[in-house]
Amino acid sequence: MRTVRFGIIGLGLMGREFGSAVARWCHLLEMNARPEIVAICDTNNGLFAWFRDNFPTIKLVTSDYRQLLADPDVEAVYCAVPHNLHQPIYTDIIAAGKHLLGEKPFGIDQQANAAINEAIRRHPQVFVRSTSHFPFFPAMQRLCRMIEQKAFGQIIEVNSGFLHSSDLDPAKPINWKRIVKINGEYGCLGDLGMHACHVPFKAGWYPRTVRAILSNLVKQRPDRQGNPTPCETWDNATLLCDAMDPDSGEPFPLTIKTQRIAPGETDTWYLDVKGMKASARWSSANPRRLDVLEYTGGEQCWRRIDTGWEAAFRGITGGIFEFGFTDAVQQLWAAFLHELTEGTPKSRFAACVTPEEVAYSHRLFTAALASQANGTVERV
């Protein structure tokens, strides 16, 4: 079994998720590689203790990411920092010759993303990928297999989205994800958009044009001291896109919704594909359930499939048990290590987001901003 020695930059919400996925790597069977955390970095010293207490393999603890990059022991880096830091830190990681799993949106805007892609071009020996773990839910893996098998026939319509409701409370204090300078002008699109684009892009359903309606519903929030502060980011985005079905050569409507204020939704990601031969829909609100309608000319009838733990990367969990968020995060890591060490993804949809897919998401989100500003349909 090959060991890949990792450094983590950014030990917040997602940094700890990676730590937890590493700590229970024995959960996965049949992996040829495993991650080992050898170095950690955050500017907040208060986050070191959890890692120190749980990972005896850590040899370097620092608040200066350059020190982590200078460590020859570090082969690969997971970087989960605020969006304004993606460009400077990701380009330094790549220039240091370290493999990178960088969090989305992979640059605060299109210019920052282009600079990261230029660094990738200059260092072709470095393996770079980005994140979205939702396609790893078993029901979604089944839906994705239907895409690979061309089971849908000509595509009629696709709806993909990611909905939260934690910002419904206007008294929720502002954090960096609601500040344009740190989160970026994309607002909720930068934060949530890649999740909703991941499967459509891997399916080859790339938007050609977009009409976007973006809303800033809560324009002011209290800071940590309770003082009212401007909250300028887009809370909700609805994108109506014209996409092309690569198999039939025909256009179809693709909607992408990302909302931070979607009443009643805790963390709902959904995909709904309607085709001439079959349709399927999945939502993380009921994660084990996949609805499928196969049309053979007779009566139209939805079948409900209750999936178990049928992950892309096999694990110890019994086949009838439930699969959850933390499993999906670990599957994403398995996909990263598989592709890093084997040279190819396990399958088209058991794979991380590629730099090309991220670059297209920036084209889409930039066009969406122009569409909102001008009230126009924009080319992507």
Ligand X SMILES: NC(=O)c1ccc[n+]([C@@H]2O[C@H](COP(=O)([O-])OP(=O)(O)OC[C@H]3O[C@@H](n4cnc5c(N)ncnc54)[C@H](O)[C@@H]3O)[C@@H](O)[C@H]2O)c1
Q: Which amino acid is at 233?
A: T
Shortest Å distance, C-beta 310 to ligand X = 22
Q: Which CB, 3 or 63, lies closer to ligand X? A: 63
- Among residues 139 and 179, whose Cβ is nearest to ligand X? 179
Residue 8: CB minimum distance to ligand X, A: 9
The distance of closest approach from Cβ of residue 129 to ligand X in the complex, given in angstroms and rounded to an integer, is 12
Instruction: Closer to ligand X by CB, 88 or 153: give it.
Output: 88
Closer of 67 and 376 to ligand X (Cβ): 67
Task: Tell me the CA end-to-end span of the chain in Å, nearest whole number.
Answer: 43
- To ligand X, the closest distance from the beta carbon of 174 in angstroms equals 13
Residue nearest to ligand X (CB): 12
d(CA 292, CA 157): 15
Closest CA to 240 of 228, 250, 254, 229: 254
Closest CA to 123 of 100, 153, 157, 151: 100
Considering the complex, state which of residue 40 and residue 292 has its C-beta at the smaller distance from ligand X: 40
- Least separation in angstroms between residue 175's CB and ligand X is 7
Name the nearest CA neighbour of 8 among 63, 88, 84: 63
Instruction: Output the DSSP codes for 39-65.
Output: EEE-S-GGGHHHHHHH-TT--EEES-H
Nearest to 134 by CA among 106, 162, 107: 162
Residue that has been written with the tokens 């608040």 in this structure: 63
Of 16 and 123, which CB lies nearer to ligand X in the complex structure? 16
Q: How far is the CB of 43 from ligand X (least distance, A)?
A: 4
List of residues contacting ligand X (CB under 6 A): 9-14, 41-44, 47, 65, 80-83, 85, 103-104, 131, 191
217 close to 261: Cβ distance less than 8 angstroms: yes
